[in-house]
């Protein structure tokens, strides 16, 4: 198996290759009768689509999802919901010369070994970032159901290169905060750094290079008591889902790796009550204690590696001829995929969180 | 569910509470006929046991595992292998005063909500670090089977506070390197920093405080082609298992979060071949591309938060009375759990990696 | 979840409603590089399609599967294989009058409760027999991979009403026997009873009634030692898959329910060896002992209930109005679905058996 | 994997061999705070224990379950509940001579192939009927939780040889009916046939033979709408669990195999309403339509094969020496395991049904 998330009563099964007939997803286990606004799904998916801003690839993806099943009269039917996105704009020739030359940082070689050299490698095949479109579709559906339960999620660019956005206020972040940042073309809390970030990407692009970054995601409104200890908690499911997004190489909850340098007296989130509800004064733990939600915002950060596809000449190997060679990647590629990855990370979180509630 | 890892054909089900009758594990799916040296299991478990070095708790755990099933004549039978560790040394009174006062940084409150206030909270109950003993047992068994396939794992303290050990050589680390570091009482590659680290822990302890750290783990000998893209790759399974270890709040593969600040030209691991095998010149990706092993060492780092149990007075809440209160935690607690967590992280990795091979 | 078979490393996820945009299946976990003859898939699917023989519905299904992913140059790629069958021939009006009147023997009422009255009930929706088309597709793919391992399956009509075909020779049935019966338009070992069976169906049809039957399925070439005791054996997986076929209400392995009336001395299959291989003299256990294959043919029988859709007036309930009413079902329905269910049962067996081998 | 039932949010993991140190079960996923009467668990387990009635084995099993975890102050804690039964009464010598001689009808040979000849075969090892003791424990726990939801189950001997008990009234069976039959030493609805059945068993025993039978199980109080279509319905889960009971070779729901000979007009269960609730007039479908409960009693029947262990000489094979031989099984064995299997079947049903409700 590979592309099947199996969380309790929810299953999300993604399929497709970059240059095959179509890509898509089957979501099995949704409750029946949940209202889903199709236009809002398209809006969510548009956040991932290539931008005209000089940062994202110019490839004109017509990622229109056709719903095959599971959706009727604006509502989930409760039976498996399948959406298919036809592939229409494949420029296979662009990739012609790299058929068996491993692109460094990509899964060409590992995929070839894994699949007995039989996998479709055109455009990255099943490993292509394009496969995140159906993941975003699924996350958009799950997100609308979460909203109906008073749960809201949102992600933003936390850093590109070493240029940083502000962090979410881990104690007080509101759904309005999430909504505001999500709807921006370039999702930053502090848009004052936007130009600096874009310059950083432009500079990398000009050098035929690429650049990585960080994405922070928050989920508000999740009541306390959701998740389980050990292997089936919020951290386990969210990380399993988020590592499903190509280019993610790290994840941390709350202050994450900063915990390593802290003392307990700084790190511990003290509890406080007004007699009715319990909160923590700080939220270093990112809303999760023992795998279970504390009622505070769930916060995590993912590390996104720089786009491996760069136009500079790179030393590599033809893994069929078993010869060293030099590769210059042609084609159209984002110099920084962080902006487009923002809704993908959010989608993965939506799926993981909703899975605990159905 | 909570404590059941379900990876393909392998299931690891952990049970127990700190002050119940016993804790243990059922490992289901092991092949029959694998030689398992029971003494080596004990050695592995001893690495997690409290040390006499002033760093670990003085609680004298007699964590002797009784094998109930699945093991005969020094070999796995192939049917479920169960080990039980009886609890014998519970000082329940030590915890008497915190019954419904939430210890900051612990899962007392979230567990109480999750389990309708019915869970056993003595000594942390199922959330106790003690529950990692059966996890280590399972990892020790899996590790021996991995060795029979030429696969070796090892972990070490990467940092405590801001004192750092060296990192593994991500390209050339050998099983001998792993063996050397693993067998040390205080598992460091560069033992020159041992005293500095211990001083750091002592200083925290003296201030009735605690301190966090990082653990690095490597797996060598894993052939290329293991794992799957998207949701069922090495990163997904390892992270799901590693977040099962209490106090882990982050995980990164290869250079992980450092990728965020890198350019593609630095980050990409170039391939090279001698005509027979393929390697990468660097190993920033930690031996994993597209969720699949590249044949290079698998490397990851986990962030460990400081022990939440500190003796300083802390603001918190009695979650039954719904009153604010001040808590001073008595009892014996490690000021730094990083050293004892090293074999636990390694054990989680062993389980995740072996699951792909059976 | 509902329509997702999750067996070890194989996942089969079926989606679709009778009158939605399309139905289909995602098969995740197939090895890469397995040759799959697309025409042979179509042949397998044609066995399920309505016949012109006066027995099956005249509805002209154009069940052409479009492969979206996972299949390239005549081989599996190893990544998820998705096939979609567009729905083109829906006569929704035929079903107009039964929207909220529960058809006896159907899942209209139970599905309505299950899905908060939101499921698509046109033509049976997700409960329609039409949803077995993608199941057959998946079984056809799995069957070709099994054949490459020397494993062959085949099913036939064992009975319709109380007219019986011969049983497979449970000890000596060959792949040629299976091939012969499978390729018949009306799959019987003893075609001498064909007319009698068809008369039985015709008689039921003439009375605006329907009739049930039995299907026997055999799998040859499966080596000894496949499957596991207790909950994950051949019987568990095959039964879980076979009860996924609408109208199946019973399953038995080997002599099955006849065991209940037997003595141990008759029932036990004695072992014998020629010094090289071990066989049993009889095969009452249907090739399975303790959930594990014995090397003898795997044999099971499924009970198929009569088509619930009959044109006679039936007492029933409008479950929205909560009123008693009388229903006369219009539309085109098979008076006996047993012949068309034969390849569906075989397909379910193929999926279950292959799941143990990957 | 083998002995791990994984149903949605419930996991039941059974371990142990007949002559190992202990057998037991881990139940993971129970809600916290459910009252469980330990004495009632013992009562349930006593129903499976050998009787003094000359029918069951005289082996004096002291099947006392020690709860290791998950149970405190008479309630589930919500964390994994583990019970261990120590093995104390193993007469290994009794089995000495059959070490590598395959007992016909048993899994000695198939288990040996499956487990590379490494499995513990003393007393049947993990394949022993003794392993059903922890299954019964789990079913007893699940049954008490079901009762708290108004759901009751009960099973009885439907036949031994060709002597039949009455069937449950599939429309009107009450919890009192279930309670009455369950608490009998020899669980029959119509105790008038008890002596005849016992004579049948005695006759088989006198001939050094054994005899099979049928067990019928009913579940009342299950509301409509529970379960899912295709692969995750009541029939799928119940059958997966019930085939986990050694000696079960068939299962049918409602009238099951009798459907095969029926017309739709007889088979269909007509719906009726009093304006408030919906029922069916008959219940041929055993309370399940499309995998989903109809609100009528869930009814199924399992076929139990005759005890394979018979004292008559049997032709068989030494599978290590690869030689034909004759086996005379010594030791103490039930001539009919049907009475003792009754609570086991009920337990399997309890687990499967409860899994849909948590």
Residue D197: closest CA among chain C residues belongs to which residue?
C261
Q: Give the mutation candidate from A242, A243, A316 for the B interface (greatest B CB count, under 10 A).
A: A243
Q: In what order do the strands lie in the sheet with C81-86?
A: C4-7, C10-15, C22-28, C81-86, C65-69
Question: Mean pLDDT across the stretch C241-269?
Answer: 97
Distance between CA atoms of residues C27 and C144, nearest Å: 14
Distance between CA atoms of residues D345 and D155, nearest Å: 7
Structure tokens at B229: 């893209």
Between chain B and chain D, the number of residue pairs with CB atoms below 8 A apart is 194
Q: How close C118 comes to chain A (CA, Å)?
A: 5
Beta-carbon neighbour count of residue D354 at 10 Å?
27
Distance between CA atoms of residues C286 and C187, nearest Å: 21
Residue C30: closest CA among chain B residues belongs to which residue?
B228
Question: Mean pLDDT across the stretch D82-93?
Answer: 77
**pLDDT value at position B288?**
98
Q: Give the mutation candidate from B4, B8, B225, B356 for the C interface (greatest C CB count, under 10 A).
A: B8
Q: Which residues of chain C are within 8 Å of residue A26 when distances are taken between CB atoms?
A: 4, 13, 15, 26
Nearest residue to B356 (alpha-carbon basis) of B236, B201, B197, B211: B236
Per the CB < 8 Å rule, is D77 touching B2? no
**Rounded percentage of chain D residues whose pLDDT exceeds 90:** 87
Question: Mean pLDDT across the stretch B226-251?
Answer: 97
Nearest residue to B115 (alpha-carbon basis) of A279, A275, A229: A229
- In this predicted structure, the answer to whether residue B22 has a pLDDT above a threshold of 50 is yes
- In this predicted structure, the answer to whether residue C296 has a pLDDT above a threshold of 70 is yes
Q: Give the number of residues written for chain A.
A: 358
**pLDDT value at position B325?**
96
Following DSSP, what letter does each residue of D62-130 receive, concatenated?
A: --PEEEEESEETTEE-SSPEEEEEE-----GGGGGGGTTBPPTTSSHHHHHHHTTT-S--GGGGGGSGG
- What is the residue-averaged pLDDT of chain D? 93
Per the CB < 8 Å rule, is D285 touching C226? no
Among B158-172, C79-93, C245-259, whose mean pLDDT is lowest? Answer: C79-93
**pLDDT value at position D58?**
46
Structure tokens at B200: 């750091």
Distance between CA atoms of residues D249 and D302, nearest Å: 7
Residue B70: closest CA among chain D residues belongs to which residue?
D16
Q: Give the mutation candidate from C1, C14, C19, C33 for the A interface (greatest A CB count, under 10 A).
A: C1
- In this predicted structure, the answer to whether residue D1 has a pLDDT above a threshold of 70 is no
Q: How close B130 comes to chain D (CA, Å)?
A: 13
When pLDDT is cut at 50, 70 and 90, the band that residue B58 belongs to is very low
Question: Mean pLDDT across the stretch D141-159?
Answer: 98
Q: Which residues of chain A are within 8 Å of residue D229 when distances are taken between CB atoms?
A: 79
Question: Mean pLDDT across the stretch B18-42?
Answer: 96
Neighbours of chain D (3+ CB pairs under 8 A): A, B, C
Per the CB < 8 Å rule, is B260 touching A224? no
Give every residue of chain A whose pLDDT is below 70, as ranges. Answer: 1, 51-62, 89-98
Per the CB < 8 Å rule, is D80 touching B14? yes
Question: Mean pLDDT across the stretch B152-179?
Answer: 98
> In chain B, what are the helix, strand and coil shares in percent, each to the nearest 5?
30, 25, 45
**pLDDT value at position B160?**
98
- Residues B85-89: contacts with CB under 8 Å, at least 24 apart: B85/B16, B85/B22, B85/B23, B85/B24, B85/B133, B85/B134, B85/B137, B86/B21, B86/B22, B87/B16, B87/B18, B87/B19, B87/B20, B87/B21, B87/B22, B87/B23, B88/B62, B89/B59, B89/B60, B89/B61, B89/B62
Q: What is the pLDDT of residues A310-350, one digit of tens each?
A: 999 999 999 999 999 999 998 778 899 999 999 999 999 99
Q: Give the mutation candidate from B13, B92, B111 for the D interface (greatest D CB count, under 10 A).
A: B13
Question: Mean pLDDT across the stretch D61-83?
Answer: 93
Question: Mean pLDDT across the stretch D172-189?
Answer: 96
Q: Which residues of chain C are within 8 Å of residue A2 when distances are taken between CB atoms?
A: 28-29, 79-80
**pLDDT value at position D173?**
98
The superfamily (CATH) of domain C2-355 is Chorismate synthase AroC (3.60.150.10)
- In chain C, where are the structural domains located? 2-355
Structure tokens at A166: 């502000």
Q: Which residues of chain B are within 8 Å of residue C79 when distances are taken between CB atoms?
A: 229
**pLDDT value at position B138?**
98
- What is the residue-averaged pLDDT of chain B? 93
Which class for C93: exposed (0-12), middle (13-18), buried (19 or more C-beta within 10 A)? exposed
**pLDDT value at position C58?**
46
- In this predicted structure, the answer to whether residue D159 has a pLDDT above a threshold of 80 is yes
- What is the residue-averaged pLDDT of chain A? 93
B129's CB contacts (< 8 A; 6+ apart) are: B246, B247, B337, B340
Distance between CA atoms of residues D163 and D160, nearest Å: 5
B158's CB contacts (< 8 A; 6+ apart) are: B164, B165, B167, B213, B214, B215, B216, B301
Under DSSP, the state recorded for C124 is G
Q: Which residues of chain D are within 8 Å of residue B66 when distances are taken between CB atoms?
A: 21
**pLDDT value at position B271?**
98
**pLDDT value at position A58?**
46
Per the CB < 8 Å rule, is D228 touching C1? yes
The partner residue sitting opposite B68, judged by closest CB among D21, D31, D80, is D21
Q: What is the pTM of this model?
A: 0.96
The partner residue sitting opposite C9, judged by closest CB among B8, B79, B229, is B8
Contact between residue C105 and residue D267 where contact means Cβ atoms under 8 Å apart: yes
When pLDDT is cut at 50, 70 and 90, the band that residue B110 belongs to is very high
**pLDDT value at position C88?**
81
Under DSSP, the state recorded for A296 is S
Q: What is the pLDDT of residues C102-146, one digit of tens each?
A: 999 999 999 999 999 999 988 889 999 999 999 999 999 999 999
Q: What is the pLDDT of residues D16-35, one digit of tens each?
A: 999 999 999 999 999 999 99
Q: What is the pLDDT of residues D279-307, one digit of tens each?
A: 999 999 999 999 999 999 999 999 999 99
Residue B6: closest CA among chain D residues belongs to which residue?
D6
Question: Mean pLDDT across the stretch C280-293?
Answer: 98
Q: Which residues of chain A are within 8 Å of residue B1 when distances are taken between CB atoms?
A: 8, 228, 232
**pLDDT value at position D262?**
97
**Rounded percentage of chain C residues whose pLDDT exceeds 90:** 87
């Amino acid at each position: 198996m590979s592309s099947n998330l199996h969380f309790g009563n929810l299953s999300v099964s993604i399929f497709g290759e970059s240059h095959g007939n179509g890509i898509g997803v089957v979501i099995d286990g949704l409750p029946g009768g949940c209202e889903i606004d199709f236009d809002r799904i398209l809006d969510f998916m548009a956040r991932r689509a290539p931008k005209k801003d000089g940062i994202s690839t110019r490839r004109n993806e017509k990622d229109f999802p056709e719903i095959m099943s599971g959706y009727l009269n604006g509502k989930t039917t409760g039976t498996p919901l399948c959406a298919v996105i036809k592939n229409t704009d494949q420029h296979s020739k662009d990739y012609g010369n790299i058929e068996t030359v491993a692109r460094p940082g990509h899964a060409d070689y590992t995929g070839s070994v894994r699949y007995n050299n039989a996998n479709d490698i055109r455009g990255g095949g099943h490993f292509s970032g394009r496969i995140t479109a159906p993941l975003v579709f699924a996350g958009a559906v799950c997100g609308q159901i979460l909203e109906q339960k008073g749960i809201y999620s949102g992600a933003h660019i936390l850093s590109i290169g070493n240029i940083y956005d502000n962090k979410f206020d881990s104690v007080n972040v509101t759904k309005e905060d999430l909504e505001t940042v999500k709807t921006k073309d370039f999702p930053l809390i502090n848009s004052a750094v936007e130009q600096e970030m874009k310059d950083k990407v432009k500079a990398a692009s000009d050098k035929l290079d690429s650049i990585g970054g960080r994405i922070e995601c928050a989920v508000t409104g999740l009541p306390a008591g959701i998740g389980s200890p050990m292997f089936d908690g919020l951290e386990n499911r969210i990380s399993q889902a988020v590592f499903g997004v190509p280019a993610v190489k790290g994840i941390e909850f709350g202050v994450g790796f900063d915990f390593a340098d802290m003392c307990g007296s700084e790190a511990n989130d003290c509890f406080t009550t007004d007699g009715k509800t319990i909160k923590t004064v700080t939220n270093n733990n990112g809303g999760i204690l023992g795998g279970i939600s504390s009622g505070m915002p769930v916060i995590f950060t993912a590390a996104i590696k720089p786009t491996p596809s760069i136009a500079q000449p790179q030393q590599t190997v033809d893994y069929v001829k078993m010869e060293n060679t030099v590769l210059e990647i042609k084609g159209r590629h984002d110099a920084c995929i962080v902006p487009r990855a923002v809704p993908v990370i959010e989608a993965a979180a939506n799926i993981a969180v909703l899975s605990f509630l159905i």
